[in-house]
Structure 1
């Protein structure tokens, strides 16, 4: 804080120093939101894997002569599944649950229609070796014609790939916002150097080294970066809490949920000190290089 003791440059009075925090604040907010998006996608991927990674469903085709009572094919099927060490848990899906799955598309008239629905059996599987799932699927198909075993793993992997793509895009945008902030600091520093050129020359005549001048710019960059980063972080936090209040609560593992997790919240907290340090380093490096290039 040498400049504040009256021994250096009045950098805080420059227009560039006054407006730079307002320029850095939206960049800091966008950077924080990018980190929150990365954390949210990471938590979603973990949630999808935990909820569906060991799940499978057996589909038995609807039988035309079947009434709404228990499916007679379930007995032999459950006997086969209970003898399989790969199967940890067996849960036949009640017809009411199957109707609930299709009712959003068919409407309330479903209750008045004798609609043939497939019989579903949910399974929880143990970790499988290569080929075990395919062998179990073949045995089920041999036992009941038209039956098939479906695992959500394939499309969960596709969802995870989409999540990783979102993370990569957010990381790229965050890098662009950080670069834009650094360029804004460089422009402000060069402007301040031009404004204070005569004062800097006088300081050099008095014996002040380049490091002394650069240190003052670095401290000014630290202050400006801190306040800009703090303002941007507060805006980002307000947006996240507002979105959390607006979005409905859901326990469904596959539905989108605003859950930044440690990565998102940690990134939100670290944006302010990181931007302050980067602004100080960029300011110092820019001043040193500029002063050495001056005649």
Structure 2
């Protein structure tokens, strides 16, 4: 339990500036950037997982043939062959209505009503452990005009880019955490130098280095939490607005860049982690400095 003299010393040692002082605002800015970068990294990781799960075992077979009768015959033969293959989980031919919807933005609504040769598309879902390239020789025998596109292979460069950006975001979060700790260290050292005489008096009154360090910890913890919550609120507002803008695009690929509920919980815990980091940095700084002084 603190004595009245120690309570008075605390108020003199660290005046109750909080939001009026510079450190909470610096921490708020760092937390704002940290949450934005962390949110972007988590969204990219979620997008990479979504694409990997949805496309890892999928492929598309195209029947590109100018003659309509030959195209239809090869499409039926290819679908029958794929359905019999033990490595194929499901086979679905894209309907004419779906093809018209896909081509309408480029060719107009009457694209399938004329003589324009439109390829036949067959969606193929493979069983785990099977590769789409294995089907190519069999397809070429029953449907010479068939082409097979492996979705995972086509999007591999994009997946690698997302993974690289995810790790870059993690590195930036660590750098900003280190910068936040540096701000706390500088603030604690400045307070030690400013109130050196008060600290000497507290030592004469019997206060230990750990007790003095706790005074710094409590005050810096409040400042760090206040700044962290302020930065979190601003970053969450920005992330929500960006999420709505991305959802309005209507793209499945862009729409996969979203935050899961557990990601929001992780972002919400960042101010608490920042407060703990600030407390540890302040304690280490004060105790180390006082041991060198005495």
1:24 and 2:27 matched: yes
Q: How does the TM-score come out when normalised to structure 1?
A: 0.87
Q: Could you tell me how far apart the structure 2 residues matched to 1:225 and 1:142 are?
A: 69
1:78 aligns with 2:94: no
Distance 1:248 1:228, change over 3 A: same
Q: For residue 8 of structure 1, what is the aligned residue in structure 2?
A: 10
Distance 1:75 1:259, change over 3 A: closer
Moved more, 265-274 or 240-249: 240-249
Q: How far off is 1:255 after superposition?
A: 2.4
Any stretches of 5+ residues in structure 1 without a counterpart?
none
Q: Secondary structure at the match of 1:127?
A: coil
Q: Structure 2 regions of 5+ residues with no counterpart?
A: none
CA distance in 1, matches of 2:129, 2:277: 49
Q: Does 1:244 align with 2:243?
A: yes
The alpha carbon displacement at 1:191 in A equals 1.1
Structure 1 distance, partners of 2:106, 2:206, is: 82
Check whether the contact 1:9–1:216 (CA below 8 A) recurs between aligned residues: no
- Residue 38 of structure 2 aligns to a residue whose secondary structure is helix
Match of 1:153 in 2: 152
TM, length-normalised to structure 2: 0.87
Matched, 1:294 2:293: yes
Match of 1:49 in 2: 52
What RMSD in Å do the two structures reach over aligned CA positions? 2.8
Query: How far has the Cα of 1:262 moved from its partner?
Result: 4.2
What does residue 38 of structure 1 align with? Answer: 41
Alignment partners' CA distance in 2, 1:37 and 1:210: 42
